């Protein structure tokens, strides 16, 4: 039995990042030997085992054969599979590298490239800031279209032209990928340091022309100067939350699609508010008190001022507001509204519709000071 650290952990050490996960691969072993050594099988579809002491996941080296379209249509083989064969099935050369487990601690300290097993020249591609597919096996998994775009957004790498062509060949298969898997990759990409690069890459391979991806991006101009991608490039450092960045891209989901695509409620709500009320919020101070109060109620701002700050961050970016007048007016109104005693009005007028009218009028009066 030989054990190697493979993939992203080695890549991250080379790039001077702290690895998030460590991928252990076992060569020259089998199920019976793993179990006899105390490992517990946890993978139903893939030969993955938990280490008896550390709980880390160890996978038998494997090759994969595509059996049907989509993300889960694979069968795998673990008999007599070499390390190079296992590395060859991986997505990009930067992830098709390995270090022997006995050399791992030394490698983390020294970054010595002589300790790296690199049959597909991944180190060179890392140094050249290029994402390149490892082999033709890249085409077996359409999720790799999203993963490559996400890695480009993380590291500010370019994608090799040959890899872009393979991505174009398989992008249509995203229609066979579960919506929650697409959202997981997409959300991760939104939170990378250069999220606009993910969009540029996906646009380049036609991803937003695929039915399942169409709602994710509405490529419209939002001012006389910027498209949504350009806004994401300009303002992602200011807007760091996932709901804020999701709202910034101007998605075009229907209510049903929000549910089928498993979009989180905070992302859904912020995006819908910006899409429906963003322009009005961008000129909030120009309206009379009646209209401002109705808008405040429409976005349910009274009970959640912190959420309103996130909304206005996106509105400022999308409508290029450049002043704090609208935000200041909105929060002054919210402060004035709090001076109205809703409980006293409810006791005095008792009937529901009358209470609503009286409360609305009292709040308008408070905002008009």
Residue indicated by tokens 């190079």? 84
Condensed to tens digits (0 to 9), the pLDDT of residues 11-34 reads 999 999 999 889 999 999 999 999
Q: Which sequence spans correspond to the domains of the chain?
A: 1-128, 142-206, 218-338
- The CATH code that applies to domain 142-206 is 1.10.110.30
Q: Pull the structure tokens for residue 42.
A: 């946890």
Q: What per-residue confidence (pLDDT) applies to 224?
A: 57
Print the SS3 string covering the chain: CEEEEECHHHHHHHCCCCCCCCEEEEECCCHHHHHHCCCEECCCCCCEEECCCCCCEEEECCEEEECCCCCCCEEEECCCCCHHHHHHCCCEHHHCCEEEHHHHHHHHHHCCHHHEECCCCHHHHHHCCEECECCHHHHHCCHHHHHHHHHHHHHCCEECHHHHHHHHHHHHHHHHCCHHHHHHHHHHHHCCCCHHHHHHHHHHCCHHHCHHHHHHCCCCECCCCCEHHHHHHHHCCCCCCHHHHHHHCCCCCCHHHHHHCCCCHHHHHHHHHHHHHHHHHHCHHHCCHHHHHHHHHHCCCCCCHHHHHHHHHHHHHHCCCCCCHHHHHHHHHHHHHCCCCHHHHHHHHCCHHHHHHHHHHHHHHHHCC
CA distance 363 to 337: 5
User: For residues 157 and 126, is the Cβ–Cβ distance under 8 A?
Assistant: no
User: For residues 87 and 97, is the Cβ–Cβ distance under 8 A?
Assistant: yes
Give whole-number Cα distances, 91 to 38, 59, 120, 136, 147, in Å. Answer: 31, 17, 11, 9, 9
Q: What per-residue confidence (pLDDT) applies to 219?
A: 67
pLDDT along the chain (369 residues), means of 10: 95 93 95 95 86 95 75 76 96 98 96 96 97 95 97 97 98 95 97 96 96 86 74 90 93 92 95 93 95 96 91 90 85 94 81 82 90
Count of beta carbons in the 10 Å neighbourhood of residue 2: 13
CA distance 281 to 331: 12
Closest CA to 83 of 55, 34, 118: 118
Q: Pull the structure tokens for residue 92.
A: 């990009």
191 Cβ contact partners less than 8 Å away, ≥ 6 residues apart: 242, 245
Q: What per-residue confidence (pLDDT) applies to 278?
A: 93
User: For residues 172 and 147, is the Cβ–Cβ distance under 8 A?
Assistant: no
Same-fold call for 1-128 versus 142-206: no
Count of beta carbons in the 10 Å neighbourhood of residue 334: 17
**Can you give the length of the chain in residues?**
369
Percent of the chain with pLDDT over 90: 77
Domain boundaries 1-128, CATH class: alpha beta
Q: What per-residue confidence (pLDDT) applies to 46?
A: 82
Burial class of 136 by CB neighbour count within 10 A (0 to 12, 13 to 18, 19+) = exposed
Q: What per-residue confidence (pLDDT) applies to 8?
A: 93
User: For residues 69 and 81, is the Cβ–Cβ distance under 8 A?
Assistant: no
């Amino acid at each position: 039995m030989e054990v190697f650290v493979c993939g992203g952990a080695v890549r991250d050490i080379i790039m001077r990042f702290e690895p998030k996960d460590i991928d252990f691969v076992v060569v020259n072993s089998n199920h019976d030997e793993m179990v006899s050594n105390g490992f517990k099988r946890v993978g139903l579809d893939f030969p993955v085992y938990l280490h008896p002491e550390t709980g880390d996941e160890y996978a038998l080296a494997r090759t994969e054969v595509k059996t049907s379209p989509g993300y889960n249509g694979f069968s795998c083989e673990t008999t007599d599979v070499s390390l190079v064969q296992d590395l060859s099935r991986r997505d990009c050369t930067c992830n098709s590298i390995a270090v022997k487990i006995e050399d791992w601690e030394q490698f983390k300290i020294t970054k010595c490239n002589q300790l790296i097993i690199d049959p597909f020249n991944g180190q060179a591609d890392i140094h050249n800031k290029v994402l390149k597919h490892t082999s033709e096996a890249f085409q077996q998994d359409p999720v790799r279209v999203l993963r490559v775009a996400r890695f480009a957004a993380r590291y500010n790498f370019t994608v090799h032209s040959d890899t872009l062509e393979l991505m174009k060949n398989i992008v249509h298969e995203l229609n066979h990928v579960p919506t929650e898997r697409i959202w997981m990759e997409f959300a991760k990409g939104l939170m990378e340091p250069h999220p606009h690069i993910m969009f540029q890459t996906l646009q380049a391979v036609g991803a937003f022309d695929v039915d399942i991806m169409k709602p994710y991006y509405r490529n419209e101009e939002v001012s006389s100067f910027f498209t949504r991608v350009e806004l994401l490039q300009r303002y992602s450092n200011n807007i760091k939350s996932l709901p804020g960045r999701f709202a910034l891209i101007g998605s075009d989901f229907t209510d049903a699609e929000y549910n089928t695509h498993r979009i989180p409620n905070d992302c859904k709500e912020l995006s819908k508010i910006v899409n429906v009320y963003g322009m009005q919020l961008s000129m909030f101070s120009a309206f009379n008190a009646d209209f401002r109060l109705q808008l405040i109620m429409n976005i349910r701002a009274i009970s959640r001022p912190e959420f309103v700050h996130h909304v206005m961050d996106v509105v400022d970016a999308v409508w290029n507001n450049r002043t704090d007048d609208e935000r200041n007016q909105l929060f002054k109104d919210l402060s004035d509204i709090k001076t109205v005693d809703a409980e006293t009005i409810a006791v005095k007028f008792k009937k529901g519709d009358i209470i609503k009218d009286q409360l609305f009028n009292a709040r308008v009066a408070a905002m008009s000071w």
